[in-house]
Structure 1
Amino acid sequence: MQQQLQTLTADLQRELQEIGNRTAQMESKMEKYVEAHNSLADKLQEFDDILESHRLKLADMEDRAKRNNLRFRGIPETVPNAELQHYLSKMFQSLVPELHPDQLIIDRAHRLCRPKHLPQTAVRDVIARIHFFHAKDRILRASRSSGMPPEYSSLKIFADISADTLHFRKSMVPITSILQEDTMIYRWGFPAKLLISHQDAIHSITTLKQGAQKLGDWGLTQPAPESTKSRTVPRRLPEWTVK
């Protein structure tokens, strides 16, 4: 009986040793897999940062090319393309009468293609390039501060910006909404950034996460966590090393 127990014990010890060896080999392989995953995650984040940098540069180049442009919404389709500049010139003289007509030169104006999701009866937007930037800026400011003249009340004027910059501004709504509630002064900068005035200093915000951190530093309400989630791939730790 004792001999049998010794034999059984020896067999169990041998099997346990073999299991331990196989487990050690598996942990070693898994550790290599974790290292490879983390390396790929770091490289993916690096490429994502590079891609984002190039995207912002392209958006900035597009915005610079459109710097003197204005987008008009609501100009009747009955106004032919050949008369768009004349129509806009009359509207400018009514909106900013303090500017001399020589300062309200329009280089070109044209209608955009109608988006597919809009009905055929929808009025197409008009893009116009204003020769002088200060005149373009004055027109845009006047339309927002004083409102449109009565005869042009159905028209709206927007800055002509790239799709990426427009997407960035929409993504920053959780931040700008809080700034508006606290009556804090902010404005948009280029390339895509949010410039916030706080305690006699201008703070540049380029990401939601950065904006949320600033709001927290200033003791303001922070946006919901869902709106500031990161898209980065998380790094991993070997589970058998976590206690």
Structure 2
Amino acid sequence: MEGGKNKKGKGKQPERVEKDDIFESEVEAMDEEQVDRNGGQCAELTAVDMEANIAIIRADLKSMVSEVKSELGIFRDSIRDDLKRELTDIREEIQHKLGEVASDLKATTERLCEAESRIADMEECSVDFKEALSQSLQAQERLQLKLTDLEARSRRNNVRIYGITEGAEENNIQQFIAKMIKEELQPLASVELGIQRCHRALGPKPPREAQPRSVVVYFQEFKTKELVLHSAWKKREIYYGERRIYFDHDYPAETLVKRKAYARIRRLLREKGIRFQTPPPAKLRVFFDSGPVTYESAAAAEEDLKKRGFSLERESTAASGFMEKTRKNTWQRAAKTASTMASTQSHQERIKERLRSFQRP
């Protein structure tokens, strides 16, 4: 019996399972329907919110755009006003500067014209002064020649003796010279020399090792002086103690300078073995094979010797005379004054045109 009941119970169990499955499927269907209904409502709510937000954003953007436009307009107007004001100031400053430049240029032009006028006047005066100075220098040169000639004539009776040791004359130089001449120049031993004055060359006493001062001897008669000179030159070498002494004319300083200019020429002639003489006051007589030639100046002698094939050593020339310096340093008249003025005016016009290009209309 029990076994039969069990068999019956086992037979009813599948029917219950089927009922549960149906119930569950219905519940699931209801849940899905509820979910679909809620999802639709959420979707509707989200779209509405988005449209509202978009409208708000659009309104904000329009407000921002209008504000930016307003601010940009204000900024543009401010910049325009500032630029206009700055440009106006710059133009006024440039015009002021151009006015000053034009004024300075005008003043400079006036000063330049005045300077050129003064320079022209100075050139005219310089020419006149140069002519007057040239005439004065020529007259002074003639007077100097006459003065030198007078001085040379006043020294005609003098003999200058070189090489006598300082202090050898002791206290009486006149007696010492007379004794020395008669002892060294035998033809004059019995001749009355007639020495009027005798003294050392003016100037401080030199040191012991330096060249001694020369002795100036003044004879009463010119022929006695010439006799002493010719006797000394004829003997050639005269010694007093261990020093050689020389006899010569007493020349003025200007004549000594001219005679000194022949030094190079005399040295060359001695080397070549050519006989020469130096006649007073400042000449040079050279005895060539073709005959004697007398030169009045060292420049003339040097030029002629070069033509004859002699080569002279070059020496630094002394400073040129005052006449030559004056000739070099005087004003020279400027050439083409009119063209110079035209060039100056054209240059000024170019400057003015360039300045006008900076002006604003």
TM-score range, shorter-chain basis? Answer: 0.5 to 0.7
Q: TM-score, normalised by structure 1?
A: 0.64
Q: Is 1:214 aligned with 2:214?
A: no
Which residue matches 1:14?
A: none
Preserved CA contact (<8 Å) 1:59 1:162: yes
Which residue matches 2:284?
A: 195
CA distance in 2, matches of 1:219, 1:49: 35
Deviation at 1:194, TM superposition (A): 1.9
Preserved CA contact (<8 Å) 2:187 2:231: no
Letter in 2 for 1:62: E
Tell me which of 37, 40, 63 is aligned to 2:152. Answer: 63
CA distance in 2, matches of 1:124, 1:225: 27
- Over 3 Å counting, the alpha-carbon distance change for 1:173 and 1:36 in structure 2 is farther
- Over 3 Å counting, the alpha-carbon distance change for 1:91 and 1:186 in structure 2 is same
Out of 231-240 and 112-121, give the one that drifted further: 112-121
Letter in 2 for 1:162: P
CA distance in 2, matches of 1:142, 1:166: 23
Deviation at 1:176, TM superposition (A): 3.8
Which residue matches 1:238?
A: 334
Tell me which of 206, 216, 230 is aligned to 1:138. Answer: 230
CA distance in 1, matches of 2:128, 2:264: 33
Higher RCO, Cα 8 Å, sep 6+: 1
**Aligned 1:150-169 pairs, distance under 5 A:** 152-154=241-243, 156-159=245-248, 160-169=250-259
Deviation at 1:148, TM superposition (A): 1.5
Preserved CA contact (<8 Å) 2:277 2:285: yes
Q: Is 1:118 aligned with 2:206?
A: yes
- Over 3 Å counting, the alpha-carbon distance change for 1:140 and 1:35 in structure 2 is farther
CA distance in 2, matches of 1:174, 1:240: 47
Q: TM-score, normalised by structure 2?
A: 0.47
CA distance in 2, matches of 1:120, 1:225: 31
- Alpha-carbon displacement from aligned partner over 1:99-158 (angstroms, at most 9, x marks no partner): 4512x5132343336623724897654322234133222243145x2x125x54425234
Tell me which of 191, 196, 204 is aligned to 1:108. Answer: 196
Unaligned ranges ≥5, structure 1: 1-21
SS at match of 2:186: coil
Letter in 2 for 1:89: A
Preserved CA contact (<8 Å) 2:198 2:218: no
Tell me which of 227, 240, 243 is aligned to 2:317. Answer: 227
**Aligned 1:1-12 pairs, distance under 5 A:** none
SS at match of 1:220: coil
Letter in 2 for 1:200: G
How big is the alpha-carbon RMSD for the aligned residues of Structure 1 and Structure 2?
4.0
CA distance in 2, matches of 1:171, 1:66: 21
SS at match of 1:98: helix
The alignment-based identity, stated in percent, is 19
Deviation at 1:58, TM superposition (A): 1.9
Question: How many pairs are equivalent?
Answer: 215
**Aligned 1:44-63 pairs, distance under 5 A:** 44-63=133-152
Deviation at 1:170, TM superposition (A): 2.3
Which residue matches 2:47?
A: none
- Over 3 Å counting, the alpha-carbon distance change for 1:204 and 1:124 in structure 2 is closer
Q: Point out the structure with the larger helix share.
A: 2
- Alpha-carbon displacement from aligned partner over 1:29-88 (angstroms, at most 9, x marks no partner): 756644543443344333333323322322222222222222334255253444x34433
Deviation at 1:25, TM superposition (A): 9.5
Q: Is 1:92 aligned with 2:220?
A: no
Preserved CA contact (<8 Å) 1:194 1:205: yes
Preserved CA contact (<8 Å) 1:92 1:139: no
Preserved CA contact (<8 Å) 1:187 1:194: yes
SS at match of 1:63: helix
CA distance in 1, matches of 2:168, 2:138: 47
Which residue matches 1:6?
A: none
SS at match of 2:279: strand
Q: Which one has a bigger Cα radius of gyration?
A: 2
- Over 3 Å counting, the alpha-carbon distance change for 1:134 and 1:178 in structure 2 is same
